[in-house]
Structure 1
Amino acid sequence: MRLRLGTAGRRRFWQSSKALLLLPITLIVVITAVDMKAPTSIHLGPALVIAPALTPSFAGPRTTAAVGALATLAQILIAVTHGGIGTSNHVVQIITLAVLSVLVVLYSALRERRQAQLAQVRTVAEAAQHVLMWPLPEQIGPLRIASLYLAAEDEAQIGGDLYAATRCDDAVRVLIGDVRGKGLPAIGEAALLLGAFREGSHRHHGLDDLVTTLEQSVARYTADMEPEEEAGERFATALLVEIPDRDQTTRMTSCGHPPPLLLSPGHVVTMPSLHPSPPLGVQVVPAKVEHTLDVFSFEPGDTLLLYTDGVVEARDTRGRFYPLAERVARWTDDSPEALMHHLRRDLLAHAGGRLGDDAALIALHRAPVDRHRLHGHGRGHGHGRAAVRQDVAGAEGP
């Protein structure tokens, strides 16, 4: 699909370039015709330089050279019409136009070479970014997944925000985090966290041990790589969620990261109670930090929405933050893919088309089960949902 789109795009570009080529050619014809009919005291020939000067904006050096040669021939024709090619004024005009055309061709060649180098760098950067941020599968365990990443830095596909999901025994573990900074400079620390999470998820049975491993990895990185002028300023927030396949009691622990949103059918949005510990890397030599393990009920038919602060801190022209919980209430019954589509369009519209910080979202949807299975566990589900509502009320408080 990408190859077809690329080929079609090049074809459209070439067709538009051929259409734009009519502009300098038309200028040459018009200027030449008018100058040949104008009185000898009026000299429009110097304006012919406009034609080769415009051509590099849509064509390469060969086309530019052809337009420059055509403009020079037109200047010679004008000279023959007005007093002969040997007059000093016409000789100077012809030489000047030829020299300027050569300079424009050289500029066009250098510009084309620079564009080729930039395209190669972009290709390498995109490949490196894809290796770092593996695409999430559409289905993992009992969950359907959709994700969205909006990088604040131009030409970047990822930055300081990160996410990953992996299978571990009979559960799915998900990480979403936010490294201090944005864009390409923050990719190194994001890669560190992702690697530590993917490796540690299969070595540790509990989230508390896993988050301790992440803390130690960040501490080693900052000790070895952090510049002295940035001492104590490199840290990362992280939220780890563990979703069992058969148990609806979902566990999570947060290191300074905002809590997820639980979307239930019927435009119901709740926020599970969360007791975050300090962000990763705040302490250069990490002490033993007690990470609270929060639990909530993630029932069939629900969607769990994880996000980074770049989403809720996006501002509109009046400086108002993006009201994520209010907006997603409209789309609680949508699929994860449709939810991401709505959020992308709505978030960019709120921020005026450009975000001030990287933003990432993950939607995890637990597929509904049949009525027979629901009937066998109905009471437990209802109790879990009530507990969630009570936790949310307590978290919001007076």
Structure 2
Amino acid sequence: MTAAGRFRQLSHRGRGVLLLPFLGVALVFVLDRASNNPDVTFEPALSAGPALAAVVSNSLWFPLLVGGVTIGEAFGIAAEDRTMSASVHTASVLAIVLITAIGAASVILRNRQERALADARLVSEVAQRILLRSIPERIGPVRAAVHYAAAAAHARIGGDLYEVVQTRYGVRAVIGDVRGKGLAAVETAAAILGAFREAAHQEQSLDKVATWLADSLGRALHENDGEHEGSDEEFVTLVLVGVGPDAVVEIVNCGHPAPLLLRRGTPVRFLDPPSNVPPLGVLEPEDVRPPILRLPLQEDDRLLLYTDGVIEARNSWGVFYPLAERVPDCATAETPALVLDRLHEDVRRHVGHQLGDDAAMLLLQYAPLPASAAPAPHRSVVHPRVSTTQADQLPLLDRGDPRE
């Protein structure tokens, strides 16, 4: 690479910054010339030049160049002051050489660390695209958006999970939180998501989807037993949501924070489960029989699903983020994506720094297509009908178990 090419490579840090070492060396020369005391020399201060060069540049040649220029000036000052044979000159030159070598070595090590970090980020991005796939803006009668922030400073995936799929039974979504962090949490999240993507298409009843996920989680934990510390104590909290063509939403909650219903003209409402069910991994898979909460939907109703990283975000006073109080202001945005962007920024302002836990938010807006544009329902599926009158009269339609 030519010198001009190397200089362009450094330009991302700003060419003005690269002039600082030379300005420092020039300043030492000016101070030495301005000194009227022949017994005072500023030559030892020249060692700051190569040290500063290693800070402002990522190229190996730059601190070497500054070091060479600095040594030349050191000899010039010594010749002018007639201190060429003095010990201070010898010590100054040795210090410049040593600092230049240390600066060059630090540049090499820093470049290696940055390359390793870039590779890790690339792997993280690829893993995220495989594990946490992007969600289309519209899925059947639902407009959807997701926002995910990992707690690790340079990570893009963690223990939170989400997914939205279109099935023959309607639109189905999941959001969950794996206990713990690190590789073990990511592997557990991958097992849950893989099972959901299969079970959502195979099981007609949403509670049976939860049983399927519990069984897959049990196998995953058994396979990872011994590989990761604490894997035998892992569990997963999650919420399953199904939006059918009959304008009724079904919700199954396994130890997860309750979703929020955002409906025009009404206060924000927590959709608490009919009865408390422990997270997956606590009970045996065959004992996982969560009840189904059913709710008739109105057009433009929004369901906010989130993980505890949102509601447990605390400010410097230890106050948790008041989600139910803040979300109405954020929900005035037109699209689900804008709502989540505003909500995330509000959480960040509340905390004042990066979140200390993984935080995922999924917003589903019921926006059915016109009858002429809607696809015909699958013939093999029989859906119960809920009249408009019934929907208006029943704020919560059914809290029972569909197998009863």
TM-score, with normalisation over the residues of structure 1?
0.86
Q: Distance in 1 between matches of 2:218 and 2:125?
A: 28
Q: What SS is found at the alignment partner of 1:147?
A: strand
Deviation of the 1:100 alpha carbon: 2.4
Deviation of the 1:390 alpha carbon: 9.0
Q: Distance in 2 between matches of 1:385 and 1:215?
A: 35
Q: What SS is found at the alignment partner of 2:14?
A: helix
Deviation of the 1:43 alpha carbon: 2.0
Corresponding residue for residue 233 of structure 2: 233
C-alpha distance 173-224 of structure 1, shift in aligned 2 (>3 A): same
Corresponding residue for residue 381 of structure 1: 388
C-alpha distance 318-89 of structure 1, shift in aligned 2 (>3 A): closer
Query: How many pairs does the alignment contain?
Result: 375
Corresponding residue for residue 46 of structure 2: 48
Q: Distance in 2 between matches of 1:137 and 1:369?
A: 15
Deviation of the 1:88 alpha carbon: 4.5
Q: Distance in 2 between matches of 1:115 and 1:332?
A: 40
Residue 25 of structure 1 pairs with residue 15 of structure 2? no
CA contact (8 A) 2:255 2:279 kept: yes
Corresponding residue for residue 352 of structure 1: 352
Q: What SS is found at the alignment partner of 1:202?
A: helix
CA contact (8 A) 2:294 2:396 kept: no
Q: Decide which structure has greater helix share.
A: 1
Deviation of the 1:40 alpha carbon: 2.7
Q: What SS is found at the alignment partner of 1:153?
A: coil
Kindly, what percent of the aligned residue pairs are identical? 36
Alignment of 1:162-201 (within 5 A): 162-182=161-181, 185-201=184-200
Corresponding residue for residue 328 of structure 1: 327
Q: Distance in 2 between matches of 1:268 and 1:345?
A: 22
C-alpha distance 85-332 of structure 1, shift in aligned 2 (>3 A): closer
Q: Distance in 2 between matches of 1:343 and 1:381?
A: 32
The one-character-per-residue Cα deviations of 1:184-235 (angstroms, maximum 9, x if unpaired) are 5521111110111112222222212211111111111222213496265200
The one-character-per-residue Cα deviations of 1:212-260 (angstroms, maximum 9, x if unpaired) are 111111111222213496265200011111101x211111211111221
Q: What SS is found at the alignment partner of 1:388?
A: coil
Corresponding residue for residue 36 of structure 1: 33
* Letter matched to residue 388 of structure 1: P
Q: Distance in 2 between matches of 1:206 and 1:40?
A: 93
Q: Distance in 1 between matches of 2:39 and 2:209?
A: 86
Q: Distance in 1 between matches of 2:153 and 2:183?
A: 10
Greater mean deviation of Cα atoms: 11-20 or 198-207: 11-20
Q: What SS is found at the alignment partner of 2:166?
A: strand
Alignment of 1:112-151 (within 5 A): 112-151=111-150
Q: What SS is found at the alignment partner of 1:239?
A: strand
Alignment of 1:1-398 (within 5 A): 14=11, 16-38=13-35, 39-59=37-57, 60-83=59-82, 85-182=84-181, 185-227=184-226, 230=230, 232-244=232-244, 246-266=245-265, 268-275=267-274, 276-283=276-283, 285-334=284-333, 335-367=335-367, 380-381=387-388, 383-388=390-395
C-alpha distance 56-339 of structure 1, shift in aligned 2 (>3 A): same
CA contact (8 A) 1:159 1:182 kept: yes
Q: Distance in 2 between matches of 1:43 and 1:185?
A: 61
CA contact (8 A) 2:143 2:367 kept: yes
Q: Distance in 2 between matches of 1:195 and 1:388?
A: 34
Greater mean deviation of Cα atoms: 337-346 or 82-91: 82-91
* Letter matched to residue 298 of structure 2: E
Deviation of the 1:89 alpha carbon: 3.8
C-alpha distance 203-389 of structure 1, shift in aligned 2 (>3 A): closer
Q: Distance in 2 between matches of 1:37 and 1:338?
A: 62
Q: What SS is found at the alignment partner of 1:162?
A: strand
* Letter matched to residue 342 of structure 1: R
Q: Distance in 2 between matches of 1:287 and 1:263?
A: 34
Q: What SS is found at the alignment partner of 2:304?
A: strand
CA contact (8 A) 1:197 1:210 kept: yes
CA contact (8 A) 1:162 1:190 kept: yes
* Letter matched to residue 187 of structure 1: V
Deviation of the 1:68 alpha carbon: 1.0
* Letter matched to residue 307 of structure 1: Y
Q: What SS is found at the alignment partner of 2:233?
A: coil
The one-character-per-residue Cα deviations of 1:91-125 (angstroms, maximum 9, x if unpaired) are 34223322321222122122222212221222122
CA contact (8 A) 1:303 1:332 kept: no
The one-character-per-residue Cα deviations of 1:245-288 (angstroms, maximum 9, x if unpaired) are x21111121111122111112353223341342211113x4443
* Letter matched to residue 44 of structure 1: F
Deviation of the 1:140 alpha carbon: 0.6
Deviation of the 1:52 alpha carbon: 0.9
The one-character-per-residue Cα deviations of 1:308-339 (angstroms, maximum 9, x if unpaired) are 12211212222222121221122444321221
CA contact (8 A) 1:177 1:237 kept: yes
- Structure 1 residue runs of 5 or longer lacking an equivalent are 1-10, 372-378, 393-398
